[in-house]
Amino acid sequence: MFDAGAATMEEARAALSTYFGYDAFRPGQERLVSAILAGRDALGVMPTGAGKSVCYQIPALTLPGLTLVVSPLVSLMGDQVRALKAAGARPSYLNSTLTVPQQNTVLKRAREGWYQIMYVAPERLADERFLAFARELAGPDGIGIPLVAVDEAHCVSQWGQDFRPSYLEIARFIDSLPVRPVVAAFTATATERVRTDIVQMLGLRRPETVVTGFDRQNLYFGVEEMGDKAKALWIRDFALSHADASGIIYCSTRRAVDELAFALGRELAPAGIRVGRYHAGMAADERTENQAAFIDDLVPVIVATNAFGMGIDKPNVRYVIHHNVPESIEAYYQEAGRAGRDGDPAECHLLWNGNDFRLRRYLIDRGDDESELDDDARERARQNRYRLLSAMEGYCETTGCLRAYILRYFGDEGALGVETASAPAHGATGAAACAEGLSGGCGNCSNCTNPAEAEDVTAIAREAVLLVRATGGRFGRALVADALHGANTERIRQYRLDEMPGFGTLASEPVAHIKDVIGQLIGRGYLSQSQGQFPTVALGPRAVEVLEEAPGKPFAFTMKRRAGGRRAAVRARQAVDLLRDEASRDARPRVGDDGALFEHLREVRRELAIERAWAPYMIASDKALRGMCRRRPTTRDELLEVPGIGEKKADDFGDAFLAEISRFEDENRS
């Protein structure tokens, strides 16, 4: 039975200060920690960088016994354990990277109470040897398992973007223990539907649920439509203009990663910018080496598939660029959210074209990740993935505020503090709510910083709806646009579209523009688009407004054309520079410092990290170094007043930082 009095919030706050160097919890953290210490299940939905891990690490460091953390991030468990060790904790992990003798040692020490926290993969929970170990620990003669924390909990939901059947083992594992522990689940991205699924599939009992809000105000969001060759040039120019910044570039396939990494590496080398790559097809040691080089700030740019980044605690990523469209808003926001975890301004850019969506639909139909499911479950998963992709398509095509679109998708539409339309159903009507229902804007996305004149496209919209009705909704967007334009192609003739009323009525309009208008009609509900690898366009619920115009209310349709290319990039840089200026007012060191001390402290941190083979952030974050620049501590006690510096770090690294500050002060004393 869980001992609700085993640890108090006073002890939790002391642990927060001792291990992590902070005097107060962030929003949402205290509620979750308090619930767990009181013996209550918990669900935390908090954006990347909001401090989810603290919500289970603090209970683990204050409660007696061994806390288990279930995580899919096998390749990163070593980093997570090293970071906790650097803070003075006693963590461990158990996964396939350890030899059998090493695993035996970990299990033996765990039984003896050496560890406070153990990271395991979900697959481990079905292993009979581990089950026996866990039952022993949770039994009357064991040290106890007070808490099972489930990281990346959205993986348990078939409605989420990253369903993993292995996560279904978690509830069975918990039920098999002689004493049920507290169960706490955490995720960065989950809609209300996914949150409900998490509670049910993990068997959470009346959990304390905290959703801290999805708005990351320090992030700039940009969307640009362009061809594949233009994408590579855009990314090259962006990286050159951000030569001192650390960035991640995501591609949808391994081949795209290899090609882009090679091209960028060749073109950025003269500027001294190193480029790494990461995908599952590489040798494990090469992946590990490239990941470490990126985390350690040795390689500033990495090109990767979505296999990279989950769980990586690198605070100073200044930009994330998607070379291709991700499979869902959830996946996009999680990947983009790896920028700016230190709270400083950062940029998130999505480059797309129609080929991206064709590839995504092909991958969904191929269903490589669904081999473990039966036929019915596989079809449900496929339809759900199409639904998620539809929402992603709406994000790319909306001319409204991008931040508002994301927040509405997650049910957090009030975060902007502007008057908005009611939240859309995920997918089909998302673009409509953002294009039509927002009376303000975030001022920090490409659609808000690139205002465009509204264009009256009523004639194009009407002809599109009429042709879709005439053809019975049997054709896709591209073929409808070709027919309206009057294209003389084999497919047009094959389906006798050249004989349909409406053929060629928009001959003066570019096909791409007609397709854009059709996309907006889909987004706003006048047309609908089927799911599948080859989606067709049919009449939507609002088509009647076009086909049966009410007296005195003629149909009218306007849309904005998004300005792109260099103009958009310049506006993005201006917006981020403004954010950075505002943020720096609070973080600026004393007058006359000019950042020199910060660079000296970074060098000290780098040397300390090399000595221990750790990532620099494990020694101290950039924010902690800035705190030292402002406060100029001269003693250990003063150093402990710097947020992010706990007892263990002060003991291990304090002398080096204090000595450098003293030397710098002596050299610069007037």
370, pLDDT greater than 80: no
Residues 178 and 228 both lie in one domain? no
Residues 194 and 69 both lie in one domain? yes
**So what's the pLDDT on residue 384?**
84
Distance of CA 52 to the CA centre of its chain: 13
d(CA 296, CA 593): 26
Domain that holds residue 146: 9-211
Instruction: Tell me the percentage of the chain whose pLDDT exceeds 70.
Output: 87
Name 148's bridge partners.
68, 183
pLDDT confidence bin for 51, thresholds 50/70/90: confident
* Residue at 496 is within a domain: yes
Of 203, 124, 139, the closest CA to residue 171 belongs to 203
pLDDT confidence bin for 423, thresholds 50/70/90: very low
Average pLDDT of the residues in 162-178: 91
* Residue at 576 is within a domain: no
Average pLDDT of the residues in 256-281: 95
Residue with tokens 């706003």: 524
d(CA 636, CA 161): 46
**So what's the pLDDT on residue 425?**
38
Taking CA atoms, 489 is separated from 409, 469, 508, 535, 538, in Å, by 39, 21, 17, 20, 22
* Residue at 348 is within a domain: yes
Tokens for 569, please give them. 């990039």
* Residue at 385 is within a domain: no
pLDDT confidence bin for 70, thresholds 50/70/90: very high
Within 10 A of 650 (CB to CB), how many other CB atoms are there?
Answer: 21
Average pLDDT of the residues in 17-43: 94
**So what's the pLDDT on residue 415?**
63
Average pLDDT of the residues in 359-377: 77
Q: Are 664 and 600 in contact (CB under 8 A)?
A: yes
d(CA 495, CA 490): 9
101, pLDDT greater than 80: yes
Residues 52 and 178 both lie in one domain? yes
* Residue at 581 is within a domain: no
Length of the chain: 670
282 phi and psi angles, rounded to 5 deg: -85, 160
Pairing of strands 527-529, 275-278: unpaired
668, pLDDT greater than 90: no
Last residue of a domain, one of 184, 211, 238: 211
Tokens for 244, please give them. 């001192």
Which pairs with CB-CB distance under 8 Å and at least 24 residues apart come from 378-385?
Answer: 380/158, 381/158, 381/163, 383/531, 384/158, 384/159, 385/327, 385/328
Residues 21 and 65 both lie in one domain? yes
Residues 195 and 252 both lie in one domain? no
* Residue at 364 is within a domain: no
Average pLDDT of the residues in 286-296: 88
Of 652, 399, 339, the closest CA to residue 524 belongs to 399
SS3 state of residue 287: helix
List the Cα angle 386/389/392 in 5-degree steps.
Answer: 160
Residues 200 and 229 both lie in one domain? no
Taking CA atoms, 138 is separated from 38, 71, 175, 179, 241, in Å, by 18, 20, 12, 6, 55
* Residue at 371 is within a domain: no
What is the C-alpha end-to-end distance of the chain, expressed in Å?
Answer: 65
628, pLDDT greater than 90: yes
Distance of CA 415 to the CA centre of its chain: 18
We report the CATH number of the domain holding residue 413 as 3.40.50.300
List the Cα angle 247/50/18 in 5-degree steps.
Answer: 110
Residues 146 and 54 both lie in one domain? yes
Residues 413 and 283 both lie in one domain? yes
Taking CA atoms, 220 is separated from 165, 211, 250, 402, 579, in Å, by 35, 22, 17, 10, 9
Tokens for 184, please give them. 């706490």
pLDDT confidence bin for 418, thresholds 50/70/90: very low
d(CA 662, CA 664): 5
- Type of residue numbered 116: Q
Question: pLDDT tens, 182-237?
Answer: 999 999 878 888 899 999 999 999 999 999 888 888 999 999 988 889 999 999 99
Average pLDDT of the residues in 379-391: 86
| DSSP state for residue 116 in the 8-state scheme | S
**So what's the pLDDT on residue 79?**
80
Q: Are 389 and 329 in contact (CB under 8 A)?
A: no
d(CA 188, CA 395): 19
Tokens for 68, please give them. 């288990």
- Of 53-62, 76-85, 300-309, 317-326, the one with minimum mean pLDDT is 76-85
Name 210's bridge partners.
44
d(CA 107, CA 96): 14
**So what's the pLDDT on residue 2?**
55
**So what's the pLDDT on residue 548?**
82
Residues 207 and 224 both lie in one domain? no
Of 481, 322, 482, the closest CA to residue 392 belongs to 322
**Burial state string for 449-470 with b = 16 or more CB within 10 A and e = fewer than 16:** bbeeeebebeebbbbbbbbbbe
Question: pLDDT tens, 437-461?
Answer: 344 567 889 988 876 567 888 899 9
**So what's the pLDDT on residue 430?**
36
**So what's the pLDDT on residue 591?**
38
Q: Which residue has the higher pLDDT, 550 or 571?
A: 550
Residues 31 and 170 both lie in one domain? yes
- Sheet with strand 246-250: strands edge to edge: 219-225, 346-352, 317-322, 246-250, 301-304, 275-278
Last residue of a domain, one of 182, 211, 240: 211
Of 134, 139, 129, 143, the closest CA to residue 178 belongs to 139
Pairing of strands 527-529, 317-322: unpaired
- Of 64-73, 74-83, 169-178, the one with minimum mean pLDDT is 74-83
Q: What does the H/E/C string look like for 132-156?
A: HHHHHHHCCCCCCCCEEEECCHHHH
Of 396, 362, 351, the closest CA to residue 516 belongs to 396
pLDDT confidence bin for 59, thresholds 50/70/90: very high
SS3 state of residue 628: helix
The mean of the pLDDT values for the chain is 85
Tokens for 609, please give them. 């990290």
Tokens for 207, please give them. 């959990």
Q: Are 656 and 625 in contact (CB under 8 A)?
A: no
Give the DSSP letter string of 247-285.
EEEE-SSHHHHHHHHHHHHHHHGGGT--EEEE-TTS-HH
* Residue at 125 is within a domain: yes
Q: Are 543 and 465 in contact (CB under 8 A)?
A: yes
Residues 223 and 207 both lie in one domain? no
**So what's the pLDDT on residue 481?**
94
**So what's the pLDDT on residue 99?**
92
We report the CATH number of the domain holding residue 549 as 1.10.10.10
Q: Are 57 and 81 in contact (CB under 8 A)?
A: no
391, pLDDT greater than 70: yes
Instruction: Tell me the percentage of the chain whose pLDDT exceeds 90.
Output: 54
**So what's the pLDDT on residue 4?**
57
Last residue of a domain, one of 443, 466, 488: 443
d(CA 225, CA 447): 13
338, pLDDT greater than 50: yes
- Of 249-253, 365-369, 500-504, 508-512, the one with minimum mean pLDDT is 365-369
436, pLDDT greater than 70: no
**So what's the pLDDT on residue 435?**
40
pLDDT confidence bin for 332, thresholds 50/70/90: very high
List the Cα angle 38/86/7 in 5-degree steps.
Answer: 15
Tokens for 267, please give them. 């073109």
Domains in the chain, number: 4
We report the CATH number of the domain holding residue 644 as 1.10.150.80
**So what's the pLDDT on residue 454?**
72
pTM score of the predicted model:
0.75
**So what's the pLDDT on residue 416?**
56
Residues 526 and 507 both lie in one domain? yes
503, pLDDT greater than 60: yes
637 phi and psi angles, rounded to 5 deg: -60, -40
